[in-house]
Structure 1
Amino acid sequence: MNDVDLNLLPALDALLTEGSVTGAARRLGLSASAMSRTLARLRSMTGDPLLVRAGVGLVPTPRALAMREQVREVARDARALLGRETTEIDPAALERTFVVRANEGFVALFAAPLVATVIRAAPRVRLRFVPRLVKDALGLRDGRVDLEIGVLGKSGPEVRTHAIFRDRFVGVARVGHPLLDTQVTAASFAQCLHVVASRKAVVHGPVDDALAELGLRRTIVAVVAGFPDALRIARDSDVVAQVPRSLVRADRPSAAALVEGLEVFELPMALPEIVISAMWHPRLDVDPAHRWLRETVTAVFRASPVV
């Protein structure tokens, strides 16, 4: 289509609708002379005069009459296709499946209220949760994942992020553990046996860095894939676990089963906050449906009693 100038399409639509060079020029915000030159180009391209003089006005040729409705439809479709998409969306009419990649902590804490919110606002939307086994941008880049929730890892530089939740680690030990007989200090904490939750079996972490700054070192006897497993081990042994505070907050009803037989204590060293972020690929940045999903996730986090 190198010989076709699609910029002429709106002009042709205006000329055939107005039946006047002056009217078409006014409609498109052009001068009458510019529109006359455009009409000349259209005549040359179509091989038809399109509009011919009849007294003081112009009348369409048979070719122009035949193409008028089609030109109007094509021009409307072109504007809809290439114009800016509306920023408004009706969630009730939205029919789409969103893939959300998140760890079990997010699913345990927020999946239920998020699903309930989506059902009320957008009953035709389906959420498919997949585990966050790795911290990379591949799923976002290739479109397998719409939204990722978690701690930032080695992601692509183009990935959009928005911090939606801040958490911190706390210690957990069985009821009656000797560590809890007196005030927990960094030294007494380090002397305990520890279980670490890590999907990639990474043993060294922020707790070890904080202890090292105090000249201390702990003994790790078990590495598990998730925090619920760490809690089970701590409940049935003298091993101590570290988990996010949100997972074991007493004011969260579903935490009761997790903390049964356990005591939660503040860690005796300063650790960096856990920042939970929403991540998505920039190709979805202005997509109204995806923006609605991001706003819904953020709203659910802010309304949650564990935040």
Structure 2
Amino acid sequence: MNLSTLDLNLLLVLHAVLEERSAARAARRLRVTPSAVSNSLARLRAQLGDPLVVRSGRGLVPTPRAQQIAPRLRAAFGEIAGAIEGDRAFDPRATTRAFTLALSDLDQICSLPAIARAYAAEMPRATLRVVSVDHLEATGGLGGGDVDATIAPAHPLPPGHHAADLFEQDSVFVVRRGHPCARRRLTREAFNSLRHIDIHIALGRGGIGNRAAVEALAAQGLHREIAAAVPTFSAAAVIAANTDLVAAMPRRIAEALARLAPLTLLEPPVAALVFRMQLVWHERTHEDEGARCFRELVIAALRDGPRARGRAAEGTRKKPSGPRDSRPTSRSPTR
């Protein structure tokens, strides 16, 4: 038999009859008339070449063919019902699902440990998959279906995207230990005389934070002569530690890398840039209970961390936020 020629509603009727052992009870369950059930059984009998059920006393008894079919129908319709109803009874401690988070190397170093600890405690049987921002961009972004969420600076969101505030982070500059600028305060003139390392996280291009930083520096009369461009903060740190070049990066990654490489942190010559970081996800996963639980886990892990400032409350932003939300703020270099 060609399955494409079979009316699958007939199998739904047979499934109800086999469970109820009565055409009348099956009709009530399906909210149709008993004659509709009888007509459906007649059509299915003709197509399968088997009586399927026969009357015995006041009920119906399945034939051997129907007995063979019954457990498979039960499993098939159970799967279909689960697919339609979704993950309503999601149990974080029992789930074996995999959740994917796109992170720059900054958050792989600074945010991932707290996320991993929370994940191991709250979803001990699930799989945490971390991919790069390059991977996120190359697979169609959050709407592409491969990534559940990402951490990014606050910016106007495209339609169908949502965000929750996580924390704020300010920026510093890193140079090698013993660099001439490390012995004195970094002035505007000294800054403009230096050669810089640029960091292009997304497919070899400057991302949201990079573009915002360039604009903010230019507004304060600062410019950068770019001597090198790299895809990660760690690569920028390695170059800075071995040359006279300087790299700008968030303070928390600068402090972490300075523990591993001979680097000195320099405060900016103007008010430090402060970026509001968010967890961002797509409408595709917004109503999914498992994805919601995963997002809450990430938000709580980073909100409660020692480097996080402010409160993070999951919210929705289907419309782009205004310019005020998309720009870094300024604050004194002293934290």
TM bin (shorter chain): 0.5 to 0.7
The answer to whether the 8 Å contact 1:137/1:159 transfers is no
Mark the CA change 1:189 to 1:73 in structure 2 (over 3 Å): closer, same or farther: farther
| Cα distance in structure 2, aligned partners of 1:259 and 1:121 | 34
The aligned amino acid for 2:212 is P
| Cα distance in structure 2, aligned partners of 1:80 and 1:242 | 55
> Matched residue of 2:307: which SS?
coil
> Matched residue of 2:197: which SS?
strand
Q: CA RMSD in A?
A: 4.5
> Matched residue of 2:6: which SS?
coil
Structure 2 counterparts to residues 1-307 of structure 1, below 5 A: 1-30=3-32, 34-47=33-46, 48=51, 50=53, 58-60=58-60, 64-67=62-65, 69-70=67-68, 72-83=70-81, 84-95=85-96, 100-133=101-134, 136-138=137-139, 145-147=146-148, 149-151=150-152, 162-163=163-164, 165-172=166-173, 187-188=188-189, 190-199=191-200, 200=204, 205-214=211-220, 216-231=222-237, 240-248=246-254, 254=256, 257=259, 262-265=264-267, 268=270, 273=275, 275-279=277-281, 282=284, 290-307=291-308
| Cα distance in structure 1, aligned partners of 2:234 and 2:53 | 76
> Matched residue of 1:242: which SS?
strand
The answer to whether the 8 Å contact 2:164/2:280 transfers is yes
| Cα distance in structure 1, aligned partners of 2:90 and 2:77 | 19
Mark the CA change 1:22 to 1:267 in structure 2 (over 3 Å): closer, same or farther: farther
Choose 1 or 2 for highest CA Rg: 1
The aligned amino acid for 1:25 is A
1:198 Cα deviation after fit: 1.4
Give a deviation string over 1:17-71, Cα, whole Å, max 9, x none.
44544333333333xxx2213213312431549455x8xx74436xx44355445
1:170 Cα deviation after fit: 1.8
| Cα distance in structure 2, aligned partners of 1:35 and 1:292 | 44
1:105 Cα deviation after fit: 0.5
> Matched residue of 1:136: which SS?
helix
The answer to whether the 8 Å contact 2:52/2:63 transfers is no
Mark the CA change 1:132 to 1:10 in structure 2 (over 3 Å): closer, same or farther: closer
Mark the CA change 1:214 to 1:75 in structure 2 (over 3 Å): closer, same or farther: same
The answer to whether the 8 Å contact 2:100/2:128 transfers is yes
Mark the CA change 1:150 to 1:138 in structure 2 (over 3 Å): closer, same or farther: same
1:112 Cα deviation after fit: 1.9
Mark the CA change 1:89 to 1:71 in structure 2 (over 3 Å): closer, same or farther: same
| Cα distance in structure 1, aligned partners of 2:145 and 2:4 | 36
1:237 Cα deviation after fit: 7.0
The aligned amino acid for 2:41 is L
The answer to whether the 8 Å contact 1:168/1:274 transfers is yes
> Matched residue of 2:248: which SS?
strand
Mark the CA change 1:60 to 1:220 in structure 2 (over 3 Å): closer, same or farther: closer
Mark the CA change 1:146 to 1:95 in structure 2 (over 3 Å): closer, same or farther: same
**How many pairs were matched up?**
290
1:109 Cα deviation after fit: 0.7
| Cα distance in structure 2, aligned partners of 1:144 and 1:16 | 39
**Percent identity over paired residues:** 24
> Matched residue of 1:304: which SS?
coil
> Matched residue of 2:306: which SS?
coil
The answer to whether the 8 Å contact 1:18/1:24 transfers is yes
Mark the CA change 1:233 to 1:169 in structure 2 (over 3 Å): closer, same or farther: farther
1:140 Cα deviation after fit: 6.2
Structure having greater relative contact order (Cα 8 Å, sep ≥ 6): 2
Unaligned runs of 5+ in 1: none
The answer to whether the 8 Å contact 1:173/1:264 transfers is yes
Give TM-score, length-normalised by structure 2: 0.63
Mark the CA change 1:221 to 1:271 in structure 2 (over 3 Å): closer, same or farther: same
